[in-house]
Structure 1
Amino acid sequence: MRALFLFLIGLALAACDATPGTTDRTFQASGEVIAMGGGASGAADACFTCHGLRGEGDGVSTPRLSGLDPGYLQKQMEDYASGLRADDVMSRVARSLDSQSRRAVSGWYARLPSPAEQNSTAAPPPIWLTGDAARGITACAACHGVEGQGAGQGQPAVAGQPAAYTLEQIDRWKSGQRRNDPRGIMAAAVQRLTDEEARAIASWLAAGGSRSAPTHASASSAASIAAAAQPAGARETRRPPRSDGD
């Protein structure tokens, strides 16, 4: 009886061992393996099932990941894992990976080539380039580039993302459902956008942004950058309240 008791105790301790086994290590061997196989949690969580074989997204509502800034991608994965950015599917996927695996898969997607550029002939919406100082709206171009190409260091490229995805994110920033922006910048930036302005931005970005901005764009962007650099406290007053009351 004593031998059986010790055997059962040994099984319980083994079950509690969180050290990755051979299978787990195999399925987390590289960013590509994680993207194609789902990591230790298996194929049900494979990234490609939603984001495409080359990270191109689905063109409807799932964003592209290919060619985005690696630091930005990793931050999103960490925020999904911690719950700072809430999403039923992505939170489950991120939590199934350890931090090293989240970094690996982010780096793999960042190294993939971006989809072929779609050169939109449409001019950027005015609000994109100039913002609206009277309403406290900083120009989107200040952080995301005149053409939506991003500026690195956490300021991602947004050109080429599906319109439905962009609109959903704007709505989430506005409502406070998404709150993982540094210093409340995005929450403040979109808070006073009209629905018409949001749709214009989303449609223009979905078409690939613009490769030929108006001549005044540089000056507008410079002014917007100065506005974006104002003290965080000046922006926080426009941030929507948290749902938990804090």
Structure 2
Amino acid sequence: MNRAFLSLSKSISVAVLAVSSFAAMANTHEEAKPAKADPAKGEALYTNGDAARGIAACASCHGAAGNSTITANPKLAGQHDAYLVKQLTDFTGDTRKNAIMTAFAKAMTADDMKNVAAYLSVQKSKPGAAKNKDIVELGKQIYRGGIAEKNVPACAGCHSPNGAGIPAQFPRIAGQHQDYTFTQLTGFQNGSRKDAAKITGARTNSAQMVTIAKKMSEDEMRAVADYVAGLK
């Protein structure tokens, strides 16, 4: 009888230990889950910044609710949140070069980036407009059909016919400032150079865009930038 009792006690102990271990694993898994993005916190940081951490208000350069009025600075309203997080992260490394953005991005936490991105992704982007009627048709042709003789694919293939992009893969570019789009295409073109790391604005964070931009002329890039500005 004692032997049976000991055997039963041992079985109960093993069962309790197993349940405890499972509970501990469950709690660890629960704690490991990433924090959910908080658009409200993102709006506060975007609008007011955080002086104590050296983060200026994003709105001072990118405009209220992400609608930049400075043509050298991109419109961020309505941009895919995953894309925004990737770009902010890239500014902390060697694939995107911008002294101002690198300083701010390095001061932000991963949660800061996700929160700001979540806020901007649900803002409504104000439309832009093509300005140069002499080149917009060329831009339209390249955007929709590419440049066959140069093996340049249609921009619409990745950024969609209306410029809305594909979430988590390719950015929204509809209505973007001409100046900004042209500068980025030039940055991708410079990214193919061996000394790209020394060039302000050089971008190597998209192998596809580096390859494509390298094949385009300045006039072709300007034409695409102007056409994109008028997309809605």
- The 1:29–1:112 alpha-carbon spacing in structure 2 relative to 1, beyond 3 Å, is closer
Q: C-alpha deviations, 1:30-62, integer Å up to 9, x for none?
A: 101110121354686110000011110124211
Residue 185 of structure 2, aligned match among 170, 175, 184 = 170
* 1:199 alignment partner AA: R
- The 1:196–1:150 alpha-carbon spacing in structure 2 relative to 1, beyond 3 Å, is same
Displacement of 1:153: 2.1
Please say if residues 40 and 97 of structure 1, whose CA atoms lie closer than 8 Å, have aligned partners that are also in contact: no
Residue 170 of structure 2, aligned match among 155, 167, 173 = 155
Alignment RMSD, CA only? 2.4
Tell which has more relative contact order, 1 or 2 (C-alpha 8 A, sep 6+): 2
Match of 2:215 in 1: 192
Structure 2 distance, partners of 1:143, 1:188, is 14
Match of 1:46 in 2: 57
Displacement of 1:134: 2.6
Gaps of 5+ in 1: 1-27, 212-246
* 1:140 alignment partner AA: C
Structure 2 distance, partners of 1:75, 1:133, is 31
Displacement of 1:158: 0.8
Displacement of 1:119: 9.2
- The 1:187–1:41 alpha-carbon spacing in structure 2 relative to 1, beyond 3 Å, is farther
Please say if residues 72 and 179 of structure 2, whose CA atoms lie closer than 8 Å, have aligned partners that are also in contact: yes
Please say if residues 54 and 107 of structure 2, whose CA atoms lie closer than 8 Å, have aligned partners that are also in contact: no
Structure 2 distance, partners of 1:90, 1:198, is 24
Given the two structures, how large is their TM-score scaled by the length of structure 1?
0.67
1:90-101 matches, cutoff 5 A: 90-101=101-112
Residue 87 of structure 1, aligned match among 98, 121, 124 = 98
Rg larger for: 2
Number of residue-to-residue matches in the alignment:
180
